Structure 1
Amino acid sequence: MSAICGLMHMDFKAETYDTGIAMLEKFNIYKVDSVRHLMIDNVFMGCGIQYITRESKYETLPAYDQKRELIITADAIIDNRSELLKVFNIKLDSWSKTTDSELILRAYEMWGKDCAKYLIGDFAFVIWDKVKNEIFCARDHVGKRTLYYYYDGNTFAFSTLMNPLFEVQQDVELNDRWIADFLSIDGILHEVECNETIYKGIYQVPPATIITINKNGLCKDLYWDPLKEVKPLRLKKDEEYDKYFKKVFFEAVDCRLRSSGEVGIMLSGGLDSGSVGCIAARNLENEGKRLKAFCSIPMDSYKNINNQYYMSDESEYVEEIIKAYNNIDITYCKSEGKNSSTNIDRFVSILEQPYKTIENLFWNDEILQRASKSGCKVLLSGQYGNCTISFGDFVTNALTLFRDMRYIRLYKEIRAYSRLKKIRRYKIGKALIKVFTPYNIRKLLSSKNEGYDNYADVPANRELIKKWNVDKRLSELKLNEYPQRYYDLYETRKSIVNPIAFSHIGAMETKLSLSHGIIERDPTRDKRVIEFCLSLPTEQFYNDGQDRNLIRRGMKGILPDKIRLNRTRRGLQSADWIERLNDSWKSIKEQLDEYLQLPEIKNYIDVEKVKLKLSTIDSLSGDEKWFSIRLILEALVFSYFLLGFKEEKAKEIIRRETAATK
């Protein structure tokens, strides 16, 4: 994988070399193995490469193909290599030395602008076609890698990161509309328009999108729309679905084991990462290799609150996997001495923006650090599994059956659920009446009985919300809504392939992994896995009172039954995140109180609301304070970012003035 950048002026008049070199220098805070650049005909391209796979050691990026007159720079791991190697008739003895960038070039030569459709993997790449005098850019189907750009009609610049683009668009300003959305969304989502960024004039290529830039301007096209393209899969027996599932999912895991170093996994005691881990361990054992597993558990001093539904420490279930596969080395990460206020300045710098993954970013980062130090180049996860391989719950299934008018089937499911959960059917039916009642009616009834503030748990300034008409954009995406909205299978699938969610996750993963010289890879977010799961009828996910049906059947004999058949307990991620803040709470309050006095903070943050929250929380005990503490920390993170941005901008002005006088 790589961090890439480049620059060209369509009129070929402006100088690009010095600016291109300055862009490359911004890669210094990330961990890359080598940095190269290439300039031909006033087109500059650069690459800071990480040697993740064995084939990547043969990469020379950027690369110029003289025969085809193409320049490419790429941040890519192509997973359907074998298929492409055969399509391009590459000799077998050359397979191991054929690089992923060469496969991309051959795909571009064969399919032109449709080439991204035929590539599977994590990628962002840019090709300059000298013959056409045209730039071609592509980002992978699920946005696993980032690609930002600046374009003013003549100058086009791109980069894996945003900061290098500041060398081109030198007078950078904040995008207040983006910030208004960021501070107003109740939850971890960062944005509602994945084409924009926190900076004016700097955009990102959305997932599953290509852009071309030529004398006619910039053109953007979506090349993958699974909701339109995927057809229903109808098979006769569950066994046939299981066989299909194994073929697709096992391949998604196997192709992500390519590594020039060790392979690691972010492991929990659940179905998703557990399934990925078991398949990976089996495949690696066949090659005489080991799997390094990393599991986050609460700190030693945590008052471990286990109840019949949730568990804060999943090591009991992780140990079942370790016992089943003797080639897994487990490391439990307690992240002692760290909390949600630790290293905010570092995270803001790496992510190039404020963030809202308050509860788990510090331990996620620790796992990446430990995995990298142990020699891992690839870190597997099952992060997206709830949306794909382990999808399936009673409410979604019941609403789907109700709307499809499959009432007999619905009755059977209610009866089965009643039997399994030991809940009387009339109670289930009573609860389902609310689920089946149209949302607008429930909203009307709830508004008569109680007032609801859509922005009670977010730090955004009310004037900012009003100025940028945040209500409209959040309403279109059904965010910050009350009462709770229920979704059937078809509505849920829209959220599963939402490019905004893809882009948000991809940006976090790309930048964090670049900072550690490792790549996070998630087989549950594989394009083929997503398409397969979108093709299935609701019964494959939930049937006869049994949730998460597909993965429980498909992983029989592979995933230990204690995990596979566990229907009563769920892992509670970051259960100790509030308690970890105890020792830092006083300094957090003092620091944020100081920030809240500043006029630039007041332009964005509802200062009085945050002050009220600060004044009422002296003790961090009690789950009822969860939302207030989260709001406070979001305000703190944003303040760090804003003041850092202002400081860096002032330094840049001084630097330019000094350079101009020399």
Structure 2
Amino acid sequence: MSAIAGVFHDHDEPVSIEVSEKMMKSLAKYPANHVRTWHDRSVFMGCHAQWFTPESVHDRQPCYDERHGLVIAADAIIDNREELFNRLQVEHSRRKRMTDSELIVEAYLKWGEDAPSYIIGDFAFVIWDDRRRRLFGARDLAGSRTLYYVHRPGQFAFCTVMNPLLALPGVRKELNESWLAEFLAIPIILDTIDVRSTVYRHIGQIPPAHSFTVEDGSLKVERYGTLAADVPKLKLRSNGEYEEAFREVFREAVVSKLRTSRNVGASLSGGLDSGAVVSFAAGPLREEGKTLYTYSYVPRPDFTDWTPRSMVADERPYIQAVVDHVGNIAHSHMDFADRNSFEEINDLLELMEAPYKFFENSYWFRGILEQANKDDVSILLHGGSGNYTISWGPALDYYARLLRKLRWVRLYRELEQYGKNMRVGRSRLLPFIGKMAFASPSPSSKPLPNIPLLIHPELAERTGVFDKLKHHDVGLNDSWMNEFEARTYQFDQLSILNHQGTSSTKLSLKYAVRERDPTCDPRVVRFCLSVPVEQYVQNGMDRSLVRRATERYLPESVRLNQRVRGVQGADWIHRVIPSWSAVTEELHELCRDTRASRFLNVEQIKASLTTIGHPPKPEQAFDRHARLLMQSLIVYRFIRQCS
């Protein structure tokens, strides 16, 4: 894994060595095993490398292939190495030591600009093709690594993070109003829909699943693939065959992400997704003589769980059941008693280089990465996309579909079993399912009146932001997608992937710990999309496929748990209450500051302060007004930094 940077002048103008040095110097805040640069008269490329895989210790990027006139700077971990070796007919004697960057070059030599579509893994890379005077690069299908750029007449500059690009003459911290409008208007955790722009007006980004070419003064950015398109339906003969096929694909994805010369860790909650990842990783690591390090966030000891009976904020009993059942695990329960969302803001703004919305979980995200770094963990597995892949299976949406198709017999049998499992009668279920089956909500450009909006009305009007957002399910209207549509949207809508990749890249660079998600591996995504829906909801059980496929892998208390769901971040207000006077004081300062009132809805901030009260109650953790207040502070501090 690396941070890469570069500048290209396409009119034979010499690259400024001073600017290049400034760009590399701004990467010095991240730990590195190796820093190297390469340049000729009109091209500069640099790499700030963190070594994780056994092969990467031999990597000296930027790498210059003199025979073919190619230079590569890559931030990449490739998962389908064996497949690529065979396709490219790489000699067996070269395979063990071949670095991922060298493998990308080989793919480029064979397939040219189609090369990214053959590569599975987390990557962003740039290749300078000296003979063609062409710069080519790409970002992986899931957008797991970021790639920002500045494009001006005669010049193209790129970098893994944004701050080095601000070293370029004329590139300032000028806010992009359109990006900021989307960020402020979207009430859910998603940042923006626009995946090509950034918070800064002069800095763009290559979207997930896209490649770019700079040649003859022009920039071409185009999509090369998708996680979800044209997946043929899988037809097997029995439940057992589907379960075994699942295990085979998922095992391959998990094992491919264990490739490191250091330790492997995993974030572990009490649910199916992270439990499945851990259970499939621990065995192969045992065969290597390694122990799996797992980390779980738990609330502070003085927190009283206010969540309903169907939820649980402290998942320790389920987590411990997984640890005991799976074995070969060194586990840490972590409550981060001295940390809270308010005191993390400045550090997170520096890391994220932009406003962010995951403040409820920010302190334990960072805390787990810090501890993983201390344990010499370089790969941290998680199951972040599992809800739409391995553990998908929305029972009620499926029953609504059966009702629409008038499949009465199957619906009757399923509801009978589901009612027994959930201890609820069919008479209570049918009205709800009927409403789901025949509701016809439609997208609207007007947000619901009960949603408090952080965006200033004038900013919303001059950017037309609500018209831009009306065809996207971003929490502004009654949800108009069922779970079937939402699943397709999850993998087709690049903004969701981009949002996840942005935080993962920037946090991983800081702590030299690479987060990796087997549940979003393209092989897993495509397999899960190919499986008939009847495999996912069966005999009154939601998420049926993963529950059946993990028999013996997971304890029954976790595998068959349908009634209780873990909820993380429920104690963030409880943690912030001692600092609430400081929060309130800063919010009053915000309301008086004209720098903020151009963008933020000051009247709504005042109203939300009144609604929440002083001090707030812990059970207001997911209240829209409480979230708006914390988000307004984050944006306000960022605006002040840019002033």
Tell me the TM-score range normalised by the shorter chain: over 0.9
Cα distance in 1 for partners of 2:364, 2:453 equals 24
In the TM superposition, what whole-angstrom CA distance separates every residue of 1:235-294 from its partner, at most 9, and x where no partner exists? 121111111111111111101111121111111111111111111111111111101111
CA shift in 2, pair 1:139/1:89, >3 Å: same
Count, aligned residues: 640
Gaps of 5+ in 2: none
- Partner of residue 618, structure 1: 614
| Shift, 1:561, TM fit | 1.5
Quick check: 1:396–1:488 contact (8 Å CA) kept in 2?
A: yes
- Partner of residue 205, structure 2: 204
Quick check: 1:296–1:363 contact (8 Å CA) kept in 2?
A: yes
Cα distance in 2 for partners of 1:474, 1:405 equals 34
CA shift in 2, pair 1:364/1:284, >3 Å: same
- Partner of residue 480, structure 2: 485
Query: Match for 2:497 among 490, 502, 511?
Result: 502
- Partner of residue 580, structure 2: 585
- Partner of residue 468, structure 2: 473
Q: Which amino acid aligns with 2:602?
A: V
In the TM superposition, what whole-angstrom CA distance separates every residue of 1:165-211 from its partner, at most 9, and x where no partner exists? 11224234110111011011011100011111111121111111111
| Shift, 1:624, TM fit | 4.6
Cα distance in 1 for partners of 2:543, 2:182 equals 34
Gaps of 5+ in 1: 647-662
Quick check: 1:129–1:135 contact (8 Å CA) kept in 2?
A: yes
Quick check: 1:309–1:568 contact (8 Å CA) kept in 2?
A: yes
Cα distance in 1 for partners of 2:233, 2:295 equals 37
| Shift, 1:528, TM fit | 0.6
Cα distance in 2 for partners of 1:441, 1:226 equals 27
Query: Match for 1:636 among 633, 639, 643?
Result: 633
Q: CA RMSD in A?
A: 2.0
- Partner of residue 13, structure 2: 13
CA shift in 2, pair 1:488/1:334, >3 Å: closer
Cα distance in 2 for partners of 1:385, 1:83 equals 25
Q: Which amino acid aligns with 2:520?
A: R
Cα distance in 2 for partners of 1:573, 1:167 equals 39
CA shift in 2, pair 1:28/1:400, >3 Å: farther
- Partner of residue 364, structure 2: 363
CA shift in 2, pair 1:481/1:426, >3 Å: farther
| Shift, 1:305, TM fit | 4.1
Structure 2 counterpart SS, 1:7: strand
In the TM superposition, what whole-angstrom CA distance separates every residue of 1:47-91 from its partner, at most 9, and x where no partner exists? 100011111101010011000100100000001112222333333
Q: Which one is further off, 618-627 or 54-63?
A: 618-627
- Partner of residue 285, structure 2: 284
Quick check: 1:16–1:43 contact (8 Å CA) kept in 2?
A: no
In the TM superposition, what whole-angstrom CA distance separates every residue of 1:560-609 from its partner, at most 9, and x where no partner exists? 11111111111111121111111111111112211221111000111122
CA shift in 2, pair 1:228/1:262, >3 Å: closer
Cα distance in 2 for partners of 1:103, 1:640 equals 43
Structure 2 counterpart SS, 1:74: strand
Structure 2 counterpart SS, 1:439: coil
Cα distance in 1 for partners of 2:405, 2:254 equals 35
Structure 1 counterpart SS, 2:67: coil
Cα distance in 1 for partners of 2:165, 2:443 equals 47
Q: How does 1:323-402 map to 2 (within 5 A)?
A: 323-402=324-403
Q: Which amino acid aligns with 2:260?
A: S
Quick check: 1:227–1:494 contact (8 Å CA) kept in 2?
A: no
Cα distance in 2 for partners of 1:383, 1:333 equals 19
- Partner of residue 296, structure 1: 297
Structure 2 counterpart SS, 1:104: helix
- Partner of residue 124, structure 1: 124
- Partner of residue 136, structure 1: 136
Quick check: 1:278–1:559 contact (8 Å CA) kept in 2?
A: yes
| Shift, 1:160, TM fit | 0.4
Structure 1 counterpart SS, 2:592: coil
Cα distance in 2 for partners of 1:410, 1:588 equals 51
Q: Which amino acid aligns with 1:640?
A: R
Q: Which one is further off, 500-509 or 148-157?
A: 148-157
Structure 1 counterpart SS, 2:392: coil
- Partner of residue 115, structure 2: 115
Q: Which amino acid aligns with 1:365?
A: R
Query: Match for 1:575 among 570, 586, 589?
Result: 570
Q: Which one is further off, 629-638 or 566-575?
A: 566-575
Q: Which amino acid aligns with 1:469?
A: G
- Partner of residue 430, structure 2: 429
Cα distance in 1 for partners of 2:322, 2:618 equals 34
Quick check: 2:321–2:557 contact (8 Å CA) kept in 1?
A: yes
Q: Which amino acid aligns with 2:511?
A: H
| Shift, 1:615, TM fit | 3.7
Cα distance in 1 for partners of 2:455, 2:28 equals 33
CA shift in 2, pair 1:615/1:308, >3 Å: closer
Cα distance in 2 for partners of 1:326, 1:383 equals 22
